[in-house]
Amino acid sequence: MKVRTVSPFPDIPKRLEVEGPAFMGGEGEVYFSRCGQFVVKVYHDRMLPQDKEKMLEKVLFLGRNLGEDTKLLCWPLALVKELEGRRKIGVVTRKVPCPPFQELVDVVFSPREFKRAVERGANWLHYLQVAHSLAKTVAVLHGKGCAHADLHFKNFLVDLKNGRSVLIDLDGLVVPGFLPPQVAGMMPFMAPEVIRGFATPNEKTDRHSLAVLIFHTLLFRNPLQPLICYDPEDEERDEKIGWGEQALFSEHPFDFRHRPLFLGRPLFRRGVLSYSMFPPFLRHLVERSFLEGLFVPERRPLAREWEQALLFSFFTVWRCKQCTQYFFYPYWLPFFLRRCPFCGKRVEFPYPLLGRLYGERSSEVAASRGEVVLGHRFQVVGKMFQERCQDIFGEILWREKGYSFRNLSTRRIEWLSPFGSSGYLEEGEEILLERGMLLDFGGYFLEVKEDGCTV
């Protein structure tokens, strides 16, 4: 079939040969171009608001100078004018290659999808990368003053092995005063105020959807999944109440109505993962999203906050010796309770080294996320202190008597022992680390909280 398009971009063909429809959605039909490069979405005429085409033109206008961000956002590139000679309204976007990309739902819907992915060589660390990518993508979009309005796990395509994601379906963007909301969303990801009809999608409802998506990606369940029935007569109304008026965090500290059975039991022993496996700075964001901010949109964390916290959380992961999954090393628990949340195996000697970070200017290192978990051959890098710092300071090595630090940089690194001695490390020199020792990287400090040997 032939499609005629108009586009502000010179490299988009004016005429496309398409096949399909490949999908039929609620809004319209989706076709693939014969050249394999484009996706064409044609709306059902009856569903269209009068000024849909005007709105789409605005969306296109907003996507003029994306640059690097096209890797994260699959922005509309052209408008459809005609399909087979008939006047139609629609959009053209580039086609995201599947595989390696697939819908997020296919890897996170339930623990079964996770198991399937693990059997194909994926690891939970890939999921953490994807979660970070989701947050980054939404942060970029919000940074442009746009809200997506329909974030859910079928609108993110992910490449699990490489921890990448692409956001699609940007034709319903919301920009206050410029583009009004056009879509409602998918119930399990919608903010309660939208389900209840008190608000239309906006940046703050996106924040809710993003928090649900991140939770779902890391724990394989919806944090607000209603478990009880509110209206036995009408399932649709029941769902609306369960996700809207009666929306409740599954791990609410004293309201247990939506608490799943076997919460906190290891996942591979028919258990359910709990957000208590998150380090404190991530737990805090979950609580702001689903406890404080569930009905108070202003309290919900910004996409940018998630992005930063998830980035930092990479420095707290440890690998299970039994099931080989990575997990957040639970340094906040006593030693005998530090277990792998997937298989339940206790962390054994040698334990990782636990460091605490400080900066001369306190604003640079948020005190709440100061812990890093280090093991043999882990590097100590500037990124731990500041997102943009590319420096490598040194590496941690496991030696006979314990962990030592080796200076990999050209600068002199000062060390201070808790017993009062001190000295300098030149390039290539190393020193055995013990509890209480302080390393000074010039304005950035690392304190050894646990040396991995003494309990």
Partner 1 sequence: MEEEVIMDVTLSQGLRHLPVYLLLDTSGSMTGAPIQAVQEGLVLFKREVEKDTFARETVWVSIIVFGREVLNLTQGLVPIDSLEIPSLEAGGYTPLGGALRLLIDSLDRDVKKPVRGGEKGDWKPLVFILTDGKPTDDWKSPRNELLMRKERKVLNVITVGCGPDIDETTLREIAIGPSFKMDADSASFAAFFRWVSQTVKSVSQSVSQPQGENIPTPMPIPPDVLQYIP
- Strand, helix or coil for residue 91: strand
**Residue (187 or 408) nearer to partner 1, CB:** 187
Counting Cβ atoms within 10 Å, is residue 371 exposed (0-12), middle (13-18) or buried (19+)? buried
Q: Beta-carbon neighbour count of residue 101 at 10 Å?
A: 19
* 262 belongs to the binding site for partner 1 (CB under 8 A): yes
Least Å distance, CB 182 to partner 1, is 14
> Is-contact 206 147, C-beta < 8 A?
yes
Residues numbered 217-256 forming contacts with partner 1, rule: CB under 8 A: 220-222, 225-232, 235-236, 238-240, 242
Point out which span in 109-117, 307-315, 392-400, 442-450 binds partner 1 (CB under 8 A).
Answer: 109-117
Counting Cβ atoms within 10 Å, is residue 71 exposed (0-12), middle (13-18) or buried (19+)? middle
Nearest to 394 by CA among 329, 345, 444: 444
Residues numbered 127-186 forming contacts with partner 1, rule: CB under 8 A: 184-186
Nearest to 362 by CA among 444, 419, 307: 444
**Residue (243 or 306) nearer to partner 1, CB:** 243
Q: Would you give the binding string for partner 1 spanning residues 341-380, x where CB under 8 A is met?
A: --x-------------------------------------
Alpha-carbon dihedral angle through residues 221, 223, 226, 227, given to the nearest 10 degrees: 60
**Residue (137 or 325) nearer to partner 1, CB:** 325
Q: Which of 8, 49, 70, 324 binds partner 1 (CB under 8 A)?
A: 324
Nearest to 371 by CA among 307, 287, 313, 437: 313
Measure the CA–CA gap between 257 and 227, rounded to whole angstroms. Answer: 7
Q: Would you give the binding string for partner 1 spanning residues 263-282, x where CB under 8 A is met?
A: ----xxxxxx----------
Point out which span in 78-86, 261-269, 361-369, 392-400 binds partner 1 (CB under 8 A).
Answer: 261-269
Nearest to 432 by CA among 400, 454, 408, 410: 400
Point out which span in 12-20, 115-123, 400-408, 433-441 binds partner 1 (CB under 8 A).
Answer: 115-123
- Strand, helix or coil for residue 376: coil
Least Å distance, CB 267 to partner 1, is 6
**Residue (220 or 393) nearer to partner 1, CB:** 220
Measure the CA–CA gap between 437 and 221, rounded to whole angstroms. Answer: 41
Least Å distance, CB 230 to partner 1, is 7
Point out which span in 103-111, 294-302, 353-361, 404-412 binds partner 1 (CB under 8 A).
Answer: 103-111
- Strand, helix or coil for residue 263: strand
Q: Which of 1, 48, 96, 118 binds partner 1 (CB under 8 A)?
A: 118
Q: Which of 4, 126, 258, 369 binds partner 1 (CB under 8 A)?
A: 258
Measure the CA–CA gap between 15 and 7, rounded to whole angstroms. Answer: 11
Alpha-carbon dihedral angle through residues 160, 162, 163, 168, given to the nearest 10 degrees: -70
Least Å distance, CB 322 to partner 1, is 6
Q: Beta-carbon neighbour count of residue 195 at 10 Å?
A: 21
The residues binding partner 1 (CB under 8 A) are: 24, 26, 103, 105-106, 109-115, 118-119, 184-188, 190, 195, 220-222, 225-232, 235-236, 238-240, 242, 258, 260-262, 267-272, 321-324, 343
